Structure 1
């Protein structure tokens, strides 16, 4: 009579560390300690078939799966859950499956396991989200080094491009955080990273790393970024896992090696896909390819759709929604920002149905005296069309022309650059070029006024928002942003600052065209306001009187 093995689930432990500036969360993954957890582990990496719902795992199948696992890990094939096996199961590793054949079992997989190749040899890359464990320049160098291991031995070349859809996107994600691909890291000491093969959909070639690990470069402590990234980029170009211990594609992490080299198996796999480099000394005749190398195919790559990078200078618009979340829009996508962390972009119409792409401006209005039954509505602007949403639902009768919703809006304004609601007086400012209009308690548009009234703000703004700290933030087309005080109506000291660094955590300089802005692109906050134009200029005194009027009216009512 066959014994049955019951599979149980386990939890994870959290350790909180208080630093001088913030609370850092270190999430420790749960180790494999028993047969039930071992069975889960074997199922995860496709050594063992997942049983039908309500069924248990057969012990004989479990034993055979253990032997295969032990063979891949180069430990004695005992078929028992012995100490070497438990040690291997608790060794940090790559998150991709170890299955090396392409036959279908009819069961859905977590990853694309078809070793496809890119249809070109020149690939682009960029970093979407940095880690704070090393400096930005250290991470840049580490990623370049890891990619160079593959370009040195194959026909591939890699180029960093600050574009919105590079072939390989690198990001560091928090544990237990859905960073967009549906695959969640389980904490420190578990899965270090995962990557996607060419042709596996919108994530093709991308590599994601668990930010809870102690990432390091050039030292014996922690987890070495170069080694792990080199492994993951092997997947990015189409290589699967190898059972050769010396191969960089062996699934488990190894001790730091200052003289890291690719194994001959890695080299031959890359060359079978992309050929040899221009100058290359062929391998010796004694080399015998592994099953992993033999199974590589010439399957075409699925076209990777456009996905914007947050490490860019300019986006379309930004707003703080009625739910309190900060949303940043670019093209057909948006990012949600929580605690100054920007998450993987999602399609706009997946959250706001029927909303157009390539928006011009957005604002969520809060002042109940001004907006009455429209308070907490979110407005999106594209050209002269305005969309109004209650949370994520488009209100009836929208979109409509902007003058229909905002009485007196001039017909000669074709598009807006930003819409920002002020604090206190509830006035909402509509910016276009070097002028702006005001919508207030009269429920009519007035203006135009010179943007010089917002002292220190340039006429090149592309977005603006009243953020959760009640300051107004303006974003320029040059990659700088300005913190503006609604109390003294001036840019605060220390601004402008880099948008990609403070809002997106990229740690990069200006990336538009990969050049730094000229001195003329960085406005001087002390410039005198030019009121020589026929446009009206609204002064701080005017705003103050307007605010007092608002208080008086509100009090008398």
Structure 2
């Protein structure tokens, strides 16, 4: 098989990084590198994990590459490093992270990777999946420090991590060709990606690209490592195997440092549970297993009689306080509850919703605006004059803070927010005015605010929500209706506004009058 084909299977598509992060204007290569030693170490790492091509050396960097592009490459790399800020600088903390043990599969590079609303998910996909319900695997050998049965048991548990959440069954076979072949090997071990000896790269895997090549799905462990089971000593085989099986199933690396699919080894966890980011990623590929929940159940208190005004499901009665696009899903907030939907018409929550502060720990009721920040995927929530920052469902310490800390030009009581991450911009909306905020400059752009109709013609005042969806369209919610805005034509699409809960939450469209008629013959997202 050609090496470039294997490169695809190993998730190592190399693309330009100029659209991922904007470099800090004016920095030189020397300022970015900090020292010649750091530059050489950084280049070795970038080449090893396919952020740059093998031809990239110190001469090329110093003479041929734009410093802002090099800084953007480093910043993207830092997004996958635990406890490293994405500064774009090869500082000592970044160099130290490069020495940590990790998976050999390259990290997603940005442009061309699967995106939502113009920004990378924290999880990512490699481009394929297994269509068969039954997937076979075979363990070919064992490292010298472990007996074969101990290896088989650890790998069985690793498969169970994923099988719990998706409609696929993993079956071990003792002979012949399996879908996923698993082996231990050193240095050059039969594919174009040799291992590097103790520490460094622990293992790698090949995704299900759909070419029918026997290597698809295979997992290779570096036999130069010392593996262990059910102990904090050495490298825990179960955790490494579970991570690599994620690649075999089609997942790429995650920027969430707490995720199983984060590229760096995190150490033995005796009571391991698959994190939310990994569940979201794998179920986006395969759907959920009918006999298991998508995530831990959330306790829902009974809806009061005052809230239940008719026999309609509660969500179908709603106009929302805030609608936002977070982690590949639409979140709609009302008072102390929220609802989620990943695809139009397919709600992930019961009709009565979930309690907001039982999911996003400590978040107050009555959220007015929210968005997911492009460069670190943290979630910002706004209410009154304050805002909160969350890493997944966990609040960051030190919040809430005043919105004025983001910029003194931003008002309180914002009505909606939407991010155009590829331009590092966030649009905030209040009372018919638009504030465009630059994430890297940390200020409202010159000339703003503008009237909403001059920035988004046809979009009304008094919004309750705004977001960009995975079709790259902008969606604006007001009351029970929404407007789909086309960035190319710079106008609201024909046929809008439409009923939001009918199109997105599957409520009966006969209950809603829009465009002056009671419309039952409708086509949203080309899906009608």
So what's the TM-score if we normalise by structure 2?
A: 0.45
Larger Rg: 1
TM-score in terms of structure 1 length: 0.43
